[in-house]
Homo-oligomer: A and B are copies of this chain.
């Protein structure tokens, strides 16, 4: 009785109400305004009718927060990509109101969502696989899969992680630490592996106590730097494979009177431009998170316009940028 109630209140037929809601230019302006006023007044919410067909979702499959700069930056690119393709982005928490026994396809269709951009981690990889198996339009962002049914786009930080550590070695460093967000995903595992492989390649023994896995915050970085400074045989350089850890690490060093890079070389990781916010500007492995988001959304939108099924399995290389936080160690040259 929804359209009917508005019609009654406004003193017009339901046909006119429908025309107004669909912006039929034939309707007289006064009639239109009257109907819309009533609609807002009674808080009209259509229960059926034409549905929105232009929504993509940015889904987080686990506890995630836009407080993390990486996710905020991904979203920035996603929104731009969707906007260009005339789609809107809905932010959907997959942990919330999916009903019991509801498949992902059912859930997304109920929400009026055409395709999904999935943000995941180690614990929720199966969710991504299931969505892919159901055949719902999707693309996972910032993670990779061997399963050929799963579409993904991710930054490939392995080669530059090797390169970053080799750069430190080339400067003469032998005691090199590694700091990372304590998260279990492939992307981070790659960075750690890059560190280990670079050491191995140059026959530098790997030391468990040089590896720090902490929360991704500045205080996480400060903690790492503090622990590192208190070691008796302390590293002369460290590769922080997470942006805020590096920022917190530099801050702690400078605060403690430890000069960067004279006393310790620091390589950071950057999804945006935080490497420029500290002094000295960080040498860093960099990835364009906004670009990843943009490409994910653009691809998903265009795949919906194609009739056949499309596949995307893409790894975008990071880049390595040398700035002012790295130098030869004080004690010895190469």
List the interface of chain A (C-beta within 8 A of B).
Answer: 20-23, 25, 32, 36-37, 39-41, 43-53, 55, 65-67, 72-73, 75-76, 79, 83, 86, 88-93, 96-97, 99, 101-103, 105-106, 109-112, 114, 134-137, 218, 247-248, 250-251, 254-255, 272-274, 276-279, 290, 304, 307
Report the separation of the CA atoms of residues A50 and B111 in the bound assembly, to the nearest whole angstrom: 10
Q: Is the Cβ of B93 less than 8 Å from the Cβ of A91?
A: no
Q: For residue A46, which residues in chain B have a CB less than 8 angstroms away from its CB?
A: 51, 109, 112
Q: For residue A76, which residues in chain B have a CB less than 8 angstroms away from its CB?
A: 65-67, 72
What is the distance, in angstroms, from A297's C-beta to the closest C-beta of chain B? Answer: 11
Q: For residue A102, which residues in chain B have a CB less than 8 angstroms away from its CB?
A: 23
Q: Is the Cβ of A43 less than 8 Å from the Cβ of B304?
A: yes
Q: Which of B89, B106, B304 contacts A21 (CB 8 A)?
A: B106
Q: Which of B44, B97, B109, B114 contacts A86 (CB 8 A)?
A: B97
Q: Is the Cβ of A277 less than 8 Å from the Cβ of B277?
A: yes
Q: Is the Cβ of B52 less than 8 Å from the Cβ of A110?
A: yes
The 3 closest A-B pairs by CB, nearest first: A40-B135, A66-B76, A72-B72
Q: A46-B109, A88-B90, A218-B277 are in contact. Are A101 and B25 (CB under 8 A)?
A: yes
Report the separation of the CA atoms of residues A292 and B177 in the bound assembly, to the nearest whole angstrom: 40
Report the separation of the CA atoms of residues A151 and B173 in the bound assembly, to the nearest whole angstrom: 59
CB nearest to A99 among chain B residues: B23
Most B CB within 10 A of own CB, among A21, A22, A49, A272: A49
Most B CB within 10 A of own CB, among A44, A48, A72, A96: A72
Q: Is the Cβ of A218 less than 8 Å from the Cβ of B273?
A: yes
9 additional A-B residue pairs with CB within 8 Å, beyond A43-B307, A83-B96? A22-B106, A22-B110, A23-B101, A37-B134, A43-B137, A45-B53, A52-B112, A86-B97, A88-B91
CB nearest to A244 among chain B residues: B277
CB nearest to A41 among chain B residues: B135
Q: Is the Cβ of A90 less than 8 Å from the Cβ of B55?
A: yes
Report the separation of the CA atoms of residues A103 and B33 in the bound assembly, to the nearest whole angstrom: 9
Q: For residue A114, which residues in chain B have a CB less than 8 angstroms away from its CB?
A: 45
Q: For residue A137, which residues in chain B have a CB less than 8 angstroms away from its CB?
A: 43
Q: A23-B101, A103-B36, A277-B251 are in contact. Are A47 and B48 (CB under 8 A)?
A: no
Report the separation of the CA atoms of residues A52 and B45 in the bound assembly, to the nearest whole angstrom: 9
Q: Is the Cβ of A52 less than 8 Å from the Cβ of B111?
A: yes
Q: For residue A21, which residues in chain B have a CB less than 8 angstroms away from its CB?
A: 106, 109-110
Q: Is the Cβ of B75 less than 8 Å from the Cβ of A66?
A: yes
CB nearest to A55 among chain B residues: B90
Interface pairs (7), CB distance under 8 Å: A39-B105, A44-B109, A47-B51, A86-B97, A89-B91, A218-B277, A278-B279
Q: For residue A55, which residues in chain B have a CB less than 8 angstroms away from its CB?
A: 90
What is the distance, in angstroms, from A234's C-beta to the closest C-beta of chain B? Answer: 21
Report the separation of the CA atoms of residues A155 and B322 in the bound assembly, to the nearest whole angstrom: 40
Q: For residue A250, which residues in chain B have a CB less than 8 angstroms away from its CB?
A: 279
